[in-house]
Amino acid sequence: MKRFYKTVTTEPVDDGYALLLDGRPVKTPMRQPLVLPTLAMAQAVAAEWDGQGDEIVIASMPHTGFANAAIDQVAAQRQRFVDDIAAYGESDTLCYRADPGDPLAERQDKDWEPVLAWAENRYDIKLIRVAGIIHQPQSPHSLSRLRSPVEAMDPFALAAFSTLTSIGGSLVSSLALIEKAFDSETIWRAICLEELWQEELWGADGEALAARAHRRAAFDAAYHFCCSATG
């Protein structure tokens, strides 16, 4: 699509901040007003529109995508999104380990235990670690406590947080990230641990590197959007 506007601005409105192109309000794909709850989020979305060249490349506008999803999809199906995200706590990647004595298990202990220990202390829970891939249910108390912060998120935070949990397969690491218990690089290495381990053993594959770079871009955008949801 050709760029059809010259100026991109934001304007305070009753519910937050509207995005304006040449002074005209932008609408979502479902024709709802594109109104962002915080100035930081509005500025991030506006920067994407302002940064477009002669052609508008939707794929280069992840913050706009999260905002559209929040307004058009999450707000109308909020409970389903909460349920889908909270379900990652039942089989969190960080709780499933290689067999004891395996060098990979030692790396998992080193990189994953601090994150799990943080969650256990933060939410007053005990998470069950498993050797292997056979599902081991977590306690209802632990699942309820991990679900609580997800329930508290607004549709904008949920839209991006859903991406974080799905990329890493981990509710715990995503909560640790948005609560700034660990920096994004530490959490990224944790959720890519097994992939990085295989590369150390057998070398890197070009397609795998490209796929991981794509996931990293989505991960970074989702994290930034989550942060902007609170200001």
DSSP string across 99-136: PTT-HHHHHHHHHHHHHHHHHHHHHT--PPPEESSS--
Kindly give the residue spans of alpha helices, DSSP state H, lying in the chain: 39-50, 62-69, 78-86, 103-123, 140-151, 155-168, 171-178, 184-191, 193-202, 206-228
Residue 70 in any domain: the answer is: no
Instruction: Report residue 170 as tokens.
Output: 């981990």
On the question of pLDDT at 231 being above 80, the answer is: no
Greatest pairwise CA separation for the chain in angstroms:
63
Q: Which residues lie below 8 Å from residue 23, measured CB to CB, with a gap of 6+?
A: 7, 9
Residue 66 in any domain: the answer is: no
Could you tell me which residues are beta bridge partners of residue 17? Answer: 12, 36
Are residue 167 and residue 218 in the same domain, yes or no?
Answer: yes
Domain span holding position 166: 77-228
pTM of the predicted model as reported, rounded to 2 decimal places: 0.94
pLDDT (tens digit per residue) in 36-93: 999 999 999 999 999 999 999 999 999 999 999 999 999 999 999 999 999 999 999 9
| CATH number, residue 163 | 1.10.3580.10
Residue 1 in any domain: the answer is: no
